[in-house]
């Protein structure tokens, strides 16, 4: 049975920008009630030769969530030394993206009062004076850096979304056509 792929038609939130894949539903015909999943918020592609499970596996399940591991490597009465590492997948990201991440981390950590910030291939190490709320820092760290890198690997370009908007917010494509048009954030 054909399915629909819903794509954000505009920036909806910090983690759902224009072009972000949102969900996949079975295609139930032209009279299907789509609720809020239409313009101005979403465009949709009817994929004529792919099932909902196939498209979910391809478009939505391959998420790129930066996962951070925080570890106290040294503690004394006045400070912590913390090593934060990212998952191995980040190591394959372009150098430009790594530089953006590094500069953003430096600014964030300095704003939080960190000193002695050093970077390795897969981690950042920094020193925080006590008392520091490490639980709050971990949560804030994840919140801040989730807004830099989107939670999905694959997306549609703004030009592709604009084309679909120009066609009324909905197009019919084959699975091969969809695959040829999508972009991978890890290759940007």
pLDDT digits over 86-138, tens only?
665 554 455 555 676 677 778 888 888 888 888 877 778 888 888 778 888 87
Please tell me whether residues 74 and 137 are part of one structural domain: yes
Domain range for 15 is 3-64+152-187
The list of the chain residues with pLDDT below 70 reads 14-15, 58-67, 86-98, 100-101, 143-153, 185-188
Closest by alpha carbon to 22, among 2, 42, 38? 42
Assess contact for 80 and 130: CB atoms under 8 A: yes
> 0.75 cut: is pTM over it?
no
Please tell me whether residues 101 and 169 are part of one structural domain: no
Domain count of the chain?
Answer: 2
């Amino acid at each position: 049975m054909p399915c629909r792929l819903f794509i954000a038609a505009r920036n909806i939130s910090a983690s759902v920008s224009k072009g972000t894949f949102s969900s996949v539903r079975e295609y139930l015909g032209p009279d299907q009630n789509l609720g809020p999943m239409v313009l101005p918020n979403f465009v949709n592609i009817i994929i004529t030769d792919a099932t909902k499970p196939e498209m979910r596996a391809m478009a939505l399940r391959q998420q790129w969530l930066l996962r951070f591991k925080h570890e106290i490597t040294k503690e004394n009465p006045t400070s912590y030394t913390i090593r934060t590492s990212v998952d191995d997948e980040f190591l394959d990201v372009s150098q430009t993206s790594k530089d953006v991440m590094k500069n953003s981390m430096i600014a964030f950590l300095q704003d939080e009062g960190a000193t002695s910030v050093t970077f390795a291939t897969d981690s950042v190490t920094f020193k925080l004076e006590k008392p520091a709320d490490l639980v709050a820092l971990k949560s804030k760290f994840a919140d801040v850096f989730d807004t830099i890198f989107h939670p999905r690997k694959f997306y549609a370009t703004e030009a592709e979304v604009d084309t679909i908007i120009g066609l009324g917010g909905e197009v019919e494509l084959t699975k091969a056509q969809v695959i040829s048009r999508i972009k991978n954030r890890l290759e940007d």
